[in-house]
Amino acid sequence: MAVSGVLLVLFLIVHMAGNLHVFEGREEMNAYAHGLRTFGEPLLPHESLLWVLRIGLIAAAAVHIWSAVVLTRRALAARPVRYASKKPAKGESRHAVATMRWGAAVVFLFIIWHLLDLTFRTVNPVKDVPDAYGAVVATFSPERWPVTVFYLLALFALYFHLRHGIWSAVQTISGPDTKWRKRTQAIGLAVALIVVLGFAIVPISVTFGLVS
Amino acid sequence: MKLSLRIWRQPDAQAEGKMVSYEIDEVSEDASFLEMLDVLNERLIGEGEDPVAFDHDCREGICGACSLVIDGQPHGPQAATTTCQLHMRKFKDGDKIDIEPWRAGAFPVIKDLVVDRSAFDRIIQAGGYISAPTGTAPDAHAVPIPKQDADAAFSAAACIGCGACVAACPNGSGMLFMGAKVAHLGLMPQGQPERHTRVLGMVAAHDDAGFGGCTNTGECAAACPKEIGLDVIGKLNRDFRKAAIRAA
């Protein structure tokens, strides 16, 4: 759970930073997308970097989901009779109790939509794969506002997921003392905010016509 | 004060249980929570009914026998307090109070509010000990221990093994309990010989008993009457990683 989660967070940071090329305009964004495909050529085959990332991501996601299923099944089996009275969570990661598993489901559905939209272009009006910029502008156009709303909802779920997940991964892997645990929680919160705001700024800018 | 209680009644381990309502009047605010239940039980016995079974022993917050999930909170609403040290002045006249046993598959209900916590004993038997020569006590300064380590070990050793961590955990995990033992013994020179076998054995016994996995929500530490922190889970994770690599 922790190791696969760290890999996925690293990917998210790179993905978020890459997205910001959209503010440089159509040519720069498409050049960035082209650069990812041709990275290492002619020494390496076409799309070699992309395939390394894709295989790594699929493996990390599979391990992450499998770990989550194992943990959830164990949790359900560990409490066969539920409490009659419930109190709100009050631990250090109280926001995680209600958001982690449901948020994961939202993020999972989002990833399916996101791949169909901006990778395979099945549900995107722009079918021309090299035109990454055109696809982004088309999918977040004001008429397609539910797409933007869904994207932002998924980011909201992602925020809670990262806020807990980052420090939780550090707790599992390295087991910090109290001082470093508090610092790790602060870092997790900061990274979650930066990643989510960095992702959110793109659809918001497109929907409100700042990028067109 | 007057209170409406809803208490989990279950005649034995096999029987179906349910929440049963009781009205209780003239409760002194100076009574402890368990004394309030004693008063209710005297009345039930007088009426020829079966008294409510609950665990208790020292009633001074140091033995770990008392339990009770009060309004969804193990050991009730007051932080760093066992049920026996919780007093009725924390409640108001007319309050409705739900009283349930620890809920965990690894802690089956024996009767009413009494659960079988021998799964914790099995975890201790699997590694929560040290091997020490018997005989006369060694001099106190024979083995120097840094003050910081002694203090941290003592804080972890404050664990009374009550099981509130398991009761509070959304996953029904016993990691805080195990972490307290691993931190307590692992910080002491006397705990070093079994350090690696201890953590592997305890985790295996924990998983065998049917406790859930830790997802670091921190509910355990918030419920712990002895305020054991999540740092002990960090120490457990670290020792487990080292021991697992070494065993591989």
Would you give per-residue pLDDT tens digits along chain B (248 residues)?
999 999 999 999 999 999 999 999 999 999 999 999 999 999 999 999 999 999 999 999 999 999 999 999 999 999 999 999 999 999 999 999 999 999 999 999 999 999 999 999 999 999 999 998 888 888 888 889 999 999 999 999 999 999 999 999 999 999 999 999 999 999 999 999 999 999 999 999 999 999 999 999 999 999 999 999 999 999 999 999 999 999 98
Alpha-helix runs per DSSP H in B22-132:
33-46, 118-125
The domain in which residue B99 lies consists of 3-110
Measured between beta carbons, the chain B residues lying within 8 angstroms of A85 are 69, 71-72, 98, 100
A175·B236 Cβ contact <8 A: yes
Specify if B38 maps to a domain: yes
B238 and B122 together in one domain: yes
DSSP 8-state code for residue B32: B
B151 and B215 together in one domain: yes
Q: Say how far apart CA A86 and CA A58 lie, in whole Å.
A: 37
B206 and B230 together in one domain: yes
Furthest CA-CA distance within chain B: 63
Specify if B214 maps to a domain: yes
Assess B173–A contact: CB distance below 8 Å, yes or no.
Answer: yes
Specify if A44 maps to a domain: yes
B88 and B123 together in one domain: no
Dihedral of the alpha carbons of B134, B137, B139, B140, in degrees to the nearest 10: 100
Q: Do the Cβ atoms of A79 and B105 come closer than 8 Å? A: yes
Specify if B140 maps to a domain: no
Query: What's the pLDDT band for A27 if we cut at 50, 70, 90?
Result: very high
Specify if A86 maps to a domain: no
A79·B217 Cβ contact <8 A: no
Specify if B137 maps to a domain: no
Specify if A187 maps to a domain: yes
B217·A83 Cβ contact <8 A: no
Cis preceding linkage at A42, omega within 30? yes
Specify if B187 maps to a domain: yes
Q: Say how far apart CA B34 and CA B43 lie, in whole Å.
A: 14
**B213 vs A71, A86, A94: nearest CB:** A71
Specify if B139 maps to a domain: no
**In the predicted model, is pLDDT for residue A165 greater than 80?**
yes
Query: What's the pLDDT band for A49 if we cut at 50, 70, 90?
Result: very high
For an interface test with A, the pick among B216, B230, B235 (most A C-beta atoms closer than 10 Å) comes out as B216
pLDDT given for residue B24 in this prediction: 97
Specify if B136 maps to a domain: no
The domain in which residue A39 lies consists of 2-81+91-207
Measured between beta carbons, the chain B residues lying within 8 angstroms of A82 are 103
B124 and B93 together in one domain: no
Residue numbers of A between 85 and 114 with CB closer than 8 Å to B: 85-87, 89-94, 96-97, 100
B102 and B185 together in one domain: no
Specify if A212 maps to a domain: no
Assess A179–B contact: CB distance below 8 Å, yes or no.
Answer: no
B98·A84 Cβ contact <8 A: yes
Measured between beta carbons, the chain A residues lying within 8 angstroms of B231 are 176-178, 181
pLDDT given for residue A105 in this prediction: 96
Residue with tokens 């009574």: B31
B105 and B122 together in one domain: no
Specify if A163 maps to a domain: yes
B9 and B85 together in one domain: yes
B88 and B125 together in one domain: no
Specify if B160 maps to a domain: yes
Assess A70–B contact: CB distance below 8 Å, yes or no.
Answer: yes
**A78 vs B212, B220, B221: nearest CB:** B212
B167 and B65 together in one domain: no
Give me the number of domains chain A comprises.
Answer: 1
Q: Say how far apart CA B123 and CA B125 lie, in whole Å.
A: 5
Measured between beta carbons, the chain A residues lying within 8 angstroms of B100 are 83-85
A171·B237 Cβ contact <8 A: yes
Give me the number of domains chain B comprises.
Answer: 2
Measured between beta carbons, the chain B residues lying within 8 angstroms of A181 are 230-231, 234
pTM, whole model, 2 decimals?
0.95
Measured between beta carbons, the chain B residues lying within 8 angstroms of A168 are 215-216
Q: Say how far apart CA B203 and CA A13 lie, in whole Å.
A: 34
B213·A164 Cβ contact <8 A: no
**Neighbour-count burial of B57, counting CB atoms closer than 10 A to its CB (0-12 exposed, 13-18 middle, 19+ buried):** exposed
Assess A77–B contact: CB distance below 8 Å, yes or no.
Answer: yes
B53 and B125 together in one domain: no
B61 and B123 together in one domain: no
Assess B100–A contact: CB distance below 8 Å, yes or no.
Answer: yes
